[in-house]
Amino acid sequence: MSVAAPSGALLGRSGLPRVPARTLVMGVVNVTPDSFSDGGRWLDHDAALAHGLELLDQGADLVDVGGESTRPGAERVPVDEELARVLPVIGALVGHGVLVSVDTTRAQVAQAALDAGAVLVNDVSGGLGDPDMAPLVAATGAAYVATHWRGPSDVMDAADSYGDVVTDVRRELAARLAVLRAAGVRDDQVVLDPGLGFAKSGASNWPLLGRLDELVADGFPVLVGASRKRFLGTLLAGSDGTPAPPTARDGATAAVSALAAAAGAWAVRVHEVRASVDAVRVGAAWAAARRDGEGR
Ligand code: PMM
């Protein structure tokens, strides 16, 4: 990928550091009836607010609020419904001093969320879902997560076809970056995400983790969203081959958080925050000891 490492201490206008002292932990609040791991639990606004505050208490650095499930096969939610789900929760969390990101592929929702005080737009489509997204990000100066994506939830599993998955994902992210730059987005606003689970149904997720350092070396902050995903359920399957259920994947998620931190990830996006806060500290200590050893 021919991307230059941008300078600057902060990520866009978010107030978040581009190079944090340790990998940040983004807690997830899905205000949806149908997300794969926690669908329906936080659809009620008071419950969503309480959960966001609980994640903050557990050590989350920011809280990601989403109103549309991206699980494989999920159908689109009308924009008004998405707005009605996320805006009251974002406003309430911001009112409590929480740093909030909005998980949306729609520019209209992103704009409303930023107006309500969100500091980061987390777009799992990397701008492909809405042509108005890149100009909006440019105009607002917001921090922006561009995730590797090949199509919406109802078709993404069929798009799981790669030569070398790491090379392909880096190339396709570089293409998204070119579009963002052409729209006027500055490099210091951008976080890249390999999009685990998006057009990656199983084995193709592992090279993206095992070779995460290659994406990190491209010079942009990297977000890893492995939490409770299917490929972890497959890894942890019982002897009869039944995948471990989503809530039984938190230990594996924390292990990924530690390894992602050691590889230099900017942030991990997780449902269960406490274990990942510990895990990223382990990862930071691990990486520091390795650097010390190399200096000897
Ligand atoms: N995964 C999900 C939703 N949003 N955002 C980013 N940046 N990266 C991800 O991997 C990601 C995401 C799907 O998980 P969920 O339904 O549990 O929120």
Catalytic residue among 229, 230, 249, 274: 229
- Phi, psi at residue 24, to the nearest 5°? -80, 155
Structure tokens at 167: 């090379």
Residue-level pLDDT, tens digit, the chain, 296 residues: 444 445 559 999 899 999 999 999 999 999 988 666 666 676 788 999 999 999 999 999 999 999 998 877 777 899 999 999 999 999 999 999 999 999 999 999 999 999 999 999 999 999 999 999 999 999 999 999 999 999 887 777 777 889 999 999 999 999 999 999 999 999 999 999 999 999 998 899 999 999 999 999 999 999 999 999 999 999 999 999 999 999 999 999 999 999 999 999 999 999 999 999 999 999 999 999 999 888 77
Domain total in the chain: 1
Is 135 inside any structural domain? yes
* Residue 56 Cβ < 6 Å to ligand 1: no
Any idea which residue has 């996320």 for tokens?
Answer: 86
Q: Which CATH number covers residue 156?
A: 3.20.20.20
Is 1 inside any structural domain? no
Is 216 inside any structural domain? yes
Give yes or no: 211 in active site: no
- Nearest-angstrom CA–CA distance, 111 and 118: 9
Identify the pLDDT of residue 39. Answer: 65
Is 242 inside any structural domain? yes
Give yes or no: 229 in active site: yes
- Nearest-angstrom CA–CA distance, 229 and 213: 21
Q: Is 85:108 a contact under the CB 8 Å cutoff?
A: no
Q: How far is CA 154 from CA 65, 194, 289, in A?
A: 22, 19, 44
* Residue 30 Cβ < 6 Å to ligand 1: yes
* Residue 193 Cβ < 6 Å to ligand 1: yes
Is 8 inside any structural domain? no
- Nearest-angstrom CA–CA distance, 247 and 40: 14
Identify the pLDDT of residue 265. Answer: 98
Is 221 inside any structural domain? yes
Q: Is 32:85 a contact under the CB 8 Å cutoff?
A: yes
User: Residue 267 is part of which domain span?
Assistant: 24-294
Is 5 inside any structural domain? no
pTM of the predicted structure, to 2 decimals:
0.95
Identify the pLDDT of residue 190. Answer: 98
Positive/negative CA dihedral, 163, 169, 174, 178: positive
Structure tokens at 191: 């976080």
Which atom of ligand 1 lies nearest, measured to the CA of 195? 10
Is 76 inside any structural domain? yes
